[in-house]
Amino acid sequence: MPEPLTLVTALTSWTADPVSLLVIVLLGGWYGLSARRLGRWPRARTIAFYGAGLGVYAIATLSSIGVYADTLFFMRAAQIILLLMVAPLGLALGAPFTLLRDTGPAWLVARLRSLLHGPFGKVIAFPATASALLIATPWLLYFTSWYPTVLRNGVVDELTRLALLLIGLVYFWSRLQLDPVPRRFHHLVSVWITLAEVVCDAALGLTLWFSGHIVAESYYQALGRTWGPDLRLDQTFGAGVLWIVGDLAGLPFLGALVNRMTKEDAKQAKEIDRVLDEREEAGEDSTRPWWESDPTLSERFRRG
């Protein structure tokens, strides 16, 4: 049982979780060495990977959130949101798979490319698959025996943390499309999916908030905690974290999507201007629709 949670202990309590430290050292070391080897890696991607990715992962597992995750329901809820929604977004913004493609061993890159364009890669990157994994995971965690097992079994706890991080990474990898993907989808698809996730986050939060059932009640009662909120209020706080913080965590993702859409629109506009300029220099009919000369649309236009 850790000390009673206060503002001081919330800021000063840390734990040296060996698995988390190993993940941070291995991923951080590989990313830094690979970026240096490449020599022309964007600084913004490095900041996102270390700060919003590994930094948030460290906060979720090594700070007071990790210390009190087995004691307070709302602290575990905060950890789940950070591992599922925030840290993976930072890692995905760092474009690690592109870095691996450009610097990794040839045999590994070939193997990953084969996996990416095979049936497994196409299924896992499909919008419905990645979204279903992200949405279903918290429901399965809280409303099955998974959650009590996580609290009682350290190995399951560590594996669950890594699974949450991996599920979130698969989701943001397939939605942001910064890294190579089997098939690209319009970013508006991700916007609509995000709106659906907002509804699901609200449904999960409201269910835990107003449910008369205390999740893992026997475990929390056995702790004999005499400080902090009671079990009902603790779960209410946790429901609010899952709902409100979960939705707030989606705002940076929407911002990243808008940024991607803006850049792609600007790139397409430059390509259209280039085609029009080439037609004008070649003396082509200026009344002819530009898309007939566009390399991505001309074939479709002829088929029509």
Contact 257, 35 (CB under 8 A): no
For residue 14, pLDDT beyond 90: yes
Our count of domains for the chain comes to 1
Please report which confidence band the pLDDT of residue 295 belongs to, taking 50, 70 and 90 as the band edges: low
Higher pLDDT, 200 or 27: 27
Smallest CA-to-CA distance from 127 within 74, 61, 171, 177 is with 171
- The set of residues, in sequence order, having a beta carbon less than 8 Å from that of 58 and lying 6+ positions away, is 20, 24
At CA 136, angle to CA 132 and CA 142, rounded to 5? 170
Residue 2 falls inside a structural domain:
no
Residue 184 falls inside a structural domain:
yes
Please report which confidence band the pLDDT of residue 122 belongs to, taking 50, 70 and 90 as the band edges: confident
For residue 19, pLDDT beyond 90: yes
* Residue linked to tokens 């890594």: 162
Long-range contacts of 97-101 (CB under 8 A, 24+ apart): 97/173, 97/179, 97/180, 98/178, 98/179, 98/180, 99/31, 99/34, 99/35, 99/38, 99/41, 100/34, 101/180
Please report which confidence band the pLDDT of residue 267 belongs to, taking 50, 70 and 90 as the band edges: low
Q: Percent of the chain at pLDDT above 90? A: 50
- pLDDT mean across residues, the chain: 84
Question: Read out DSSP for 111-165?
Answer: HHHHHHTSHHHHHHTSHHHHHHHHHHHHHHHHSSTHHHHHHH-HHHHHHHHHHHH
Length of the chain: 304
Where is average pLDDT lowest: 91-100, 129-138, 261-270, 282-291? Answer: 282-291
Distance, CA of 224 to CA of 227 (rounded, Å): 9
Residue 159 falls inside a structural domain:
yes
Distance, CA of 82 to CA of 252 (rounded, Å): 13
* Residue linked to tokens 């029009």: 276
For residue 94, pLDDT beyond 80: yes
Average pLDDT over residues 249-265: 69
Residue 1 falls inside a structural domain:
no
Highest mean pLDDT among 22-26, 110-114, 186-190: 22-26
In this prediction, residue 264 carries a pLDDT of: 64
User: pLDDT digit string (tens) for 26-79?
Assistant: 999 999 999 999 888 999 999 999 999 999 999 999 999 999 999 999 999 999
Average pLDDT over residues 109-115: 87
In this prediction, residue 304 carries a pLDDT of: 46
Distance, CA of 154 to CA of 27 (rounded, Å): 22
Domain span holding position 236 = 7-303
For residue 157, pLDDT beyond 60: yes
Please report which confidence band the pLDDT of residue 210 belongs to, taking 50, 70 and 90 as the band edges: confident
In this prediction, residue 199 carries a pLDDT of: 74
For residue 244, pLDDT beyond 90: no
Residue 97 falls inside a structural domain:
yes
Residue 165 falls inside a structural domain:
yes
